[in-house]
Amino acid sequence: MNEFLFIIGALITLGGGILAVIARNLFHAALGLAAALAGIACLFVPIGGELIAVVQVLVYLGAVAVSIVFILMLSPPFYLKRAHRNALKLSGAVGVTLIVAVPLFAAVLSVKSHGGSSDFVPTIDQLGRALLTEFVFPFEIISVLLTVAIIGAIVIARDLPEDDHIMSAAEVAEKEVKA
Amino acid sequence: MTSLTSYLVLSVILFLCGVFGLMERRNLVGILISIELMLNAASINFMAFNHFLFPGTVTGQIMTLFVIGLAAAEATLFLAIVFAVYRHYRSVNVERVDHLRG
């Protein structure tokens, strides 16, 4: 059962990941990303990450992937303008990828493999306790970060028309002097 | 089949997909998609190392939760920036958004 889940998850993840970077239409790339995220959730199940798999589907697939699709739908259809492939840029990207690939594969293949011998699956209770005792500081930082990100996103993305410009005290005083 | 090496090889391939996309895409949303792939490769690594090398602990799983939270915050801000950049430049091609070029 675990092997079946791994193989299915690996195939979906690799297919989705390759589609996400190869597709010329960005909408297809977003769908490839969604497939890859679902495949990764599938991969987490055989290694004792049932809860993380659920969180992955809820947050990544339900929020991040959907918000990427949303921006493609809400914005002018720039994803339909297919960028022509630039041979120089393409070969540069392949070169950089290969340069990164060599040390990564060397490192991965030098790791001693341990066959999945443990059946330990952490319960929600254990994860919650760890989150609120040992990791409470990073947990709070993430909470603050998310709040700041929401406020920052609203501030950056809001579109103030010119006549809605909120005058500062100095500008108000200057206007009164002119009047 | 479900061994540490197979998980690590899978995550390296996913990470390389992300690197390739990051270098090759010229659209900001395409770059965001590549970054998400790389973050996910990192969380696969955290989960696999936790399960195969340190069974009985939850540190790797907690780190994966933090990665997911960070990615959510990052995606929110990135999409807001994409909207702002599009409004300003009428384009999301990173080669046309070069106001800060020295």
What tokens does B29 get? 């949303």
In a domain, B55, yes or no: yes
Question: Cα(A23)–Cα(A33) distance, rounded to whole angstroms?
Answer: 11
Of B50, B72, B82, which has the smallest distance from its Cβ to A71's Cβ? B82
At A121 the three-state DSSP class reads coil
In a domain, B78, yes or no: yes
CB contact under 8 A, B23 and A97: yes
Chains A and B: how many Cβ contacts under 8 Å?
224
Contacts within 8 Å (CB) and 24+ apart, A166-171: none
For residue A108, which residues of chain B lie inside 8 Å, CB to CB?
5, 8-9, 12
Residue by residue, DSSP assigns A70-92 as HHHHHS-SGGGSPPPP-HHHHHH
Distance from B89 to chain A by nearest Cα, in Å? 13
Provide the number of structural domains found in chain B: 1
Q: What percent of chain B has pLDDT over 90?
A: 52
Q: Which residue spans of chain A are classified as CATH 1.20.120.1200? A: 1-84
For residue B9, which residues of chain A lie inside 8 Å, CB to CB?
105, 108
At B27 the three-state DSSP class reads strand
Question: Cα(B41)–Cα(B57) distance, rounded to whole angstroms?
Answer: 21
At A179 the three-state DSSP class reads coil
Residue by residue, DSSP assigns A141-173 as HHHHHHHHHHHHHHHHH----GGGPPPPHHHHH
Task: Between A89 and A135, name the one with better pLDDT.
Answer: A135
Specify the pLDDT at position A76.
Answer: 67
Range A1-84: architecture per CATH: Up-down Bundle (1.20)
ipTM: 0.90
In a domain, B100, yes or no: no
Asked if A37 has any chain B CB less than 8 Å from its own CB, the reply is: yes
What tokens does A134 get? 């040992």
Q: What is the pLDDT of residues A149-164, one digit of tens each?
A: 999 999 988 876 655 5
In a domain, B99, yes or no: no
Q: What is the pLDDT of residues A33-47, one digit of tens each?
A: 999 999 999 999 988
Specify the pLDDT at position B42.
Answer: 94
Distance from B2 to chain A by nearest Cα, in Å? 6
DSSP lists the bridge partners of residue A123 as none
Asked if A140 has any chain B CB less than 8 Å from its own CB, the reply is: no
Which residues span the domain enclosing B72? 4-89
Of A83, A117, A127, which has the smallest distance from its Cβ to B58's Cβ? A127
How large is the average pLDDT for residues A131-136? 92
At A123 the three-state DSSP class reads coil
For residue B91, which residues of chain A lie inside 8 Å, CB to CB?
78
Specify the pLDDT at position A78.
Answer: 62
In a domain, B10, yes or no: yes
Task: Between B97 and A9, name the one with better pLDDT.
Answer: A9
Confirm if A113 and B3 have CB atoms less than 8 A apart.
Answer: yes
CATH number at residue B16: 1.10.287.3510
* Highest mean pLDDT of the ranges A5-14, A18-27, A113-122: A5-14
Cβ–Cβ contacts within 10 Å for residue B45, how many?
22
